[in-house]
Structure 1
């Protein structure tokens, strides 16, 4: 008896699990203070992490020195010591010393601390990809450590195809979801909430979504119970004419 063709995607293997890692308030230890470290620090600060840098102050590049001066990060003005790993939730190593980097990586493995050793893929628990950021929108392209420059080119190509106001539209959707949960908070409301939000996202363009005011969103939520989504003209009419009903002007 022949087997039916599979309907499921083929496993490729060799990839990474790309996730949005929440490190808000976590302690990130960065060893090194050069250009690579500066990029790592910037990404961690964008994720609201608490960053400690271990490096002689004389070796800090201008950007890292600026962040120290602004008290955005804490500086330990010396070379790395094993005790620096105490309490660390993540370790990023960016120094021009392969032997020292490997020692730190091994210490991290012993303590089960996730670590990234710059430019040494075999000594990385995770990779930094090329990231496009627009407000709440983050898009990362990863080549699994094989082609960082190529990842940057692909990321720029993707970014050029995105609407210029994508981040603002996503902010609006986020605000609308918060308001929706206030009027339909029960777990059993979940399926209807998701279905209705899908209809809303399909009904309006990026520009229209960005133009929704707080009043527009409140009026839009009146259509949730009957599971409808009005045209933008109807929604705006409701804002200018308080007597407008869900079926149109009175």
Structure 2
């Protein structure tokens, strides 16, 4: 067979498949109530999961007690039982259980008990993470930088959590100020665009136009886009143009329209007047 002359990326084994797991409104079981469990619980609540914590009351740390006191999680005051993998209580309707957990996280100082929970999860086909035991984890928690909708995770595949935290901090410090706000504005613009042109066949054009918009404006310019600016910008979608930011500013107050301005959006190179 003739070997292709094309160059393709080399396979780098030993990594993890890093995904954004949509756990919103899904039941999750946390076994344990110490410092590690508190961090796991916060990650889950940030992702809008429905969290149940199983731990004797004397094993709860102050942060977990706070979550329980403010009804952010459901607490079961006892040790784990195998039947917990079959159903979890509903926070709003205790008589109507939620069903089996979508994932299980353990953070207890009992290796034998943790391994037993791991084996039960494997048998029930429930993804599990056993704290500080990488071989008994279907997934890892990385070190996450968060700025509004922006999430950047650094993972060392369980080899160096402390180093991952240092790398995450370095990345966060190098990002532009206001990047989260810029993403919020772009997200709102995308939502407005889908309302303006919801047809399925418009999908590729919407994507290409949004790429041009994202490439055209700086972070600061994106943050400063008002609702009026976005509405004016959307007027350029049908003719498939992206105006300069100064054009949008000139249109504020309704004093000018796209027809009044000869827009050059950089799509076809440039010309020099001599």
| Per-residue Cα deviation, 1:172-226 (whole angstroms, up to 9, x for no partner) | 0000001111111112111111111111111111011001111110000000011
* Counterparts of 1:65 and 1:239, CA distance in 2: 51
In the superposition, the TM-score normalised over structure 2's length comes to 0.88
Matching of residue 236 in structure 1 with residue 259 in structure 2: no
Name the counterpart of 2:39.
39
Q: Is the contact between residue 54 and residue 77 of structure 1 (CA under 8 Å) also seen in structure 2?
A: yes
More moved, 131-140 vs 182-191: 182-191
The CA deviation string for residues 12-64 of structure 1, in whole angstroms up to 9 with x for no partner, is 11111100000011111000000000000000000000000000111101100
After TM superposition, the structure 1 = structure 2 runs for residues 161-240 of structure 1, keeping only pairs within 5 Å, are 161-240=174-253
CA–CA distance in structure 2, aligned partners of residues 85 and 182 of structure 1: 42
Structure 2 gap ranges (5+):
87-99, 263-274
Contact 1:55 1:76 in 2 (8 A): yes
1:143 aligns to 2:160 (yes or no):
no
SS state at 1:170 partner = helix
Residue 51 of structure 2 aligns to a residue whose secondary structure is strand
Instruction: Show the 5 A alignment for 1:3-22.
Output: 3-22=3-22
Q: Which runs of 5+ in 1 are unaligned?
A: none
Distance 1:18 1:44 in 2: 17
SS in 2 for 1:172: helix
- How many residues align? The count is 249
Secondary structure of 2:8 counterpart:
coil
Asked if 2 retains the 8 angstrom alpha-carbon contact of 1:93 and 1:118, the reply is yes
Q: Is the 8 A contact 2:235 2:258 kept in 1?
A: no
1:4 deviates by: 4.1
The aligned counterpart of 1:113 is 126
Counterpart among 97, 109, 117 of residue 110 in structure 2 = 97
Contact 1:237/1:244 (<8 A) preserved: no
* TM-score (norm. length: structure 1): 0.96
What residue is the counterpart of 1:123 in the other structure?
Answer: 136
Structure 2 residue aligned with 1:58: 58
Between 1:231-240 and 1:94-103, the stretch displaced more is 231-240
Question: What value does the CA root-mean-square deviation take over the aligned residues?
Answer: 1.4
Mapped to 2, the partners of 1:4 and 1:73 lie a distance apart of 55
Give the CA deviation at 1:69. 0.3
User: Residues of 2 paired with 1:49 and 1:246: CA distance?
Assistant: 49
